[in-house]
Amino acid sequence: MNSIIEALDFLHRQVRQSSYIRNKCDFISHGVQISYIVDETRIASKLKMDNVEMRIAGLLHDIGRCVSDDDLHHPITGADFLEEQRLNRIAKIIRTHNFIKEVVAETGYKNIDPESLNVTTWQEAFITYASMICGKDGQKVSFDEKLEMQRKKRDDFFMKISTIGEPRIREIYNDVELLKSGNKDIIKKYEVL
The site for Fe ion (CB under 5 A) is made up of: 62
Q: Residue with the closest Cβ to Fe ion?
A: 62
Q: How far apart are CA 61 and CA 128, in angstroms?
A: 10
Could you tell me where the DSSP H helices lie in the chain?
Answer: 4-17, 24-45, 51-60, 64-67, 74-84, 88-95, 100-107, 122-133, 143-153, 156-180
Q: In angstroms, what is the minimal distance from the CB of 127 to Fe ion?
A: 8
Q: Which run of H or of E encompasses 69? A: none
Q: How far apart are CA 42 and CA 49, in angstroms?
A: 8
Q: Which is nearer to Fe ion, 94 or 186 (CB)?
A: 94
**Cα separation values, 4 from 15, 53, 59, 124, 154, Å:** 16, 8, 9, 19, 32
Which one-letter DSSP state was computed for residue 146?
A: H
The two most distant CA atoms of the chain are separated, in Å, by 46
Q: Which is nearer to Fe ion, 18 or 178 (CB)?
A: 18
Q: Which is nearer to Fe ion, 42 or 97 (CB)?
A: 97
Q: Which is nearer to Fe ion, 72 or 186 (CB)?
A: 72
Q: In angstroms, what is the minimal distance from the CB of 133 to Fe ion?
A: 14
Q: In angstroms, what is the minimal distance from the CB of 183 to Fe ion?
A: 27
Q: Which is nearer to Fe ion, 3 or 149 (CB)?
A: 149
Q: In angstroms, what is the minimal distance from the CB of 186 to Fe ion?
A: 24
Q: In angstroms, what is the minimal distance from the CB of 148 to Fe ion?
A: 17
Amino acid at 102: E
